[in-house]
Amino acid sequence: MADDGMLLNFAISDSVIKPEAKFKGGTWRDRLSAKKRSQHQPKPGDGGNKNHESKNPNKIAISGTRPAKRQKTEFNDFEDGGDRDRRPRSQQQPSQRDPRHFVSSLFTSNPEPQNAEGPRNDEPIEEAKPTNAPLIDGIDTFTNLGLSPSLAAHLLTKLELKAPTAIQKASITQLLKEESDAFIQAETGSGKTLAYLLPLVQRIMALSKATKEAGVHRDSGLFAIVLAPTRELCKQISVVLENLLRCATWLVCGTVIGGEKKKSEKARLRKGLNILVATPGRLVDHLDNTQVLDVSNVRWLVLDEGDRLMDMGFEEELHGIVQKLDARQRPCQVPGVPTRRTTILCSATLKMNVQRLGEISLKDAVHIKADPEDEDEKARNANKDEEESFRVPAQLKQSYAVVAAKLRLVSLTAYLKRTFIRKGSVMKAIVFVSCADEVDFLFEVFSRKHGERGHKKDDDGDDENESEENGEVKKEKEKERADLSPHGTIAPGSAFSNPANPVTLHRLHGSLPQHIRTFTLNSFANSKTASVMVCTDVAARGLDLPNVDLVIEYDPAFSADDHTHRIGRTARLGRDGRALIFLQPGCEENYVDILKRGYRDGGKALTRTDATEILKRGFGRSTESSSKNWEEKATDWQMDVERWALENPEYLEMARRAFQSHVRAYATHIAAERSMFNIKELHLGHLAKSFALRDRPGKINVPGLRPGKEETKKDFKAGRGSALGKRKAGDDTTGGANTDEAAREAARKMRAKMKEHMSGGASEFNLA
């Protein structure tokens, strides 16, 4: 066994593997020389041969030096680092076959982190006072802020909200007092939804009193529209609103969000609504095509996650909506309705200097923050560099791990294994990745059991018994999944479950049909047992999912703002929470500075998690363990997943798609951060390993490629080629203009597609 690079040996039986299958992986040169070596290989018993260890870390080396007792076939299972041949005895090959060995290169040639400094996460850090909790000083109550006694009583008795949060205090006071437009900006999980809904509901409830005779009812007119970028968020806002309106049953709210039959939405609009929650695309559709939608009385327009709505290509739709609202606005017959419309933008990452504000008449908007007198805030704003960054809740403990590309998958598995080792320490975790294909791939990897093959039928028939067995396993697995979810989006998280703490796995992305998205999200939200959700940014903003203790950013977010929202799914409303981000050695390490900016104290709550410790803790017995046992186990796990992918065309295809989409998505980091996520510095060969692929990316052909993808592929190749050339020439600082242009174009397309996802249907890139 090699000390460092773990060697696993497989005697390859000719009857099991066809000759051409023996030389997979590596470049064509590697395969050619491997073939030549094998042709000149001494027969068993002829004595040892020199072990040619590959310098290419992605290569599967073939060697003839291993003693016969270590031989295995590629189809053997490995448990606990063991080397037993698990096939039925009748099928086991005698060990006098040619000893050819695959070399696992998981622990070799990995780049080291450039900067190993920074406080480790096992060192004690000072507990920070929560910054997004309700104000429990007893002075601030909802009644004191000017809400009507009935609404305040409803909050206290029915919704069990005792005191406002700081942003609610600031916003209720301001929005009840004045008619001016407003920006509401406060940390994630600080109660911004109620911060804008409470004054809105109060104002509309007050109209009923002004209308003494008949009172306001659902036919009186649509007074407010709330826009949000995702259907999930719209539904969530709508639930909060419905709960509030239980104390004013004469007022009615509704949603138009797409993904549902337009006919039923039209019917709801026809019956009459006073407050409408909508995605921009669907609202535009109804404004254009639904005559019963009368917006002449709309006096409040709220843009929840306003920066996202402005950012993502929604601006055209927003512009259209505002123009139509302006054009159709009429004096209202209901007494007390203001003459002008108020617009409110709300987000944790709202920049006051957003361009295009003029287009939606927010020129003189008031900036409502949690605590305008906050000294830290003043100091922060004095610093120009940090002006663009946003705070995260102070009690949120963030850490980063610098993990080499090849070790990413195995490290994520190890981290989740460790996380769920004991019942109760972590209830729910969210794993964010960059694209839908990767979500699907990880879901399959994590829901399979170690050693499970899952292929239906062997082509050559040699594996027949095993095939039958696997067919049974597959059926069982399908049944198990069907019990959990009729849609295949929920499964046991076998890769990190243990008998004492079974974990349920969920997958969520924008390419799933809406009813499945809703079902899966509800299931995760309502789960009372340990659960993990692997998802794209479709779940990054605004969603209020209870008991999320941990957020893992396996793929860093496309922008620092998105990162703030992702980690904001935990540590909400004063509760504790943890977040971990995976960074690769090299330019990605510079992202740590951005992470630090989210804290008042320069990032004391930001720590470094040692990548080796993750593997040791996940695959070894204890941290102190000096044995290499954890390396063997990690390698064993990785090899097992690789074999599973190799043997199942369906999963291999899934892995390839995931890899391709991941690489494409990588090119879409915002321009300001692209130096930290430089596609030219990605080692595609290493990265492939974290998608269970032994092939280098150049050989990956995705069937059904649309026109344009081929081009993108060439661009990546060209980019890599030019980067390699430059590296050889000792200059890797600049890239080809063509590649930059291609990356920009890819980014533009991707963002347009993301927008589609956030509000509408699926796209070819499957990002959201």
> Which residues make up the interface to ligand ATP (CB under 6 A)?
134, 161, 164-165, 168, 188-194, 348, 542, 544, 568, 572-573
Cβ-based nearer residue to ligand ATP, 432 or 637 = 432
For residue 132, the minimal CB distance to ligand ATP (Å) is 7
Cβ-based nearer residue to ligand ATP, 135 or 322 = 135
Are 395 and 574 in contact by the 8 Å Cβ rule? The answer is yes
For residue 482, the minimal CB distance to ligand ATP (Å) is 32
For residue 467, the minimal CB distance to ligand ATP (Å) is 48
Cβ-based nearer residue to ligand ATP, 80 or 576 = 576
Cβ-based nearer residue to ligand ATP, 308 or 694 = 308
Find, among 64, 96, 542, the residue nearest to 348 by Cα. Answer: 542
For residue 294, the minimal CB distance to ligand ATP (Å) is 29
AA identity, residue 437? D
Cβ-based nearer residue to ligand ATP, 113 or 164 = 164
Cα–Cα distance, 484 to 476 (Å, whole number):
13
Find, among 580, 634, 619, 612, the residue nearest to 417 by Cα. Answer: 619
What is the crossing angle of helices 709-728 and 737-759, to 10°?
Answer: 140
Cα–Cα distance, 74 to 84 (Å, whole number):
12
Are 274 and 204 in contact by the 8 Å Cβ rule? The answer is yes
For residue 508, the minimal CB distance to ligand ATP (Å) is 16
Instruction: Please tell me the total number of residues recorded for the chain in this structure.
Output: 768
Cβ-based nearer residue to ligand ATP, 248 or 350 = 350
How far from chain centre, in Å, is Cα 610? Answer: 22
**Beta-strand runs (E) in 645-716:** none
Are 763 and 684 in contact by the 8 Å Cβ rule? The answer is no
AA identity, residue 386? E
Cβ-based nearer residue to ligand ATP, 194 or 641 = 194
Residue 32's SS3 state is: helix
Residue 577's SS3 state is: strand
For residue 38, the minimal CB distance to ligand ATP (Å) is 57
Cα–Cα distance, 325 to 224 (Å, whole number):
11
Cβ-based nearer residue to ligand ATP, 78 or 196 = 196
Instruction: Give 566's DSSP letter.
Output: H
Alpha helices in 435-543 (DSSP H): 436-447, 464-484, 514-526
For residue 27, the minimal CB distance to ligand ATP (Å) is 47
Are 300 and 341 in contact by the 8 Å Cβ rule? The answer is yes
Give the tokens for residue 619: 């695959």
Direct distance between the N- and C-terminal alpha carbons of the chain, in angstroms, rounded to an integer: 44
Alpha helices in 97-165 (DSSP H): 149-157
Are 584 and 405 in contact by the 8 Å Cβ rule? The answer is yes
Cβ-based nearer residue to ligand ATP, 300 or 496 = 300
For residue 509, the minimal CB distance to ligand ATP (Å) is 19
Cβ-based nearer residue to ligand ATP, 164 or 254 = 164
For residue 473, the minimal CB distance to ligand ATP (Å) is 41
Give the tokens for residue 481: 């999944």
For residue 205, the minimal CB distance to ligand ATP (Å) is 19
Cβ-based nearer residue to ligand ATP, 25 or 542 = 542
For residue 753, the minimal CB distance to ligand ATP (Å) is 23
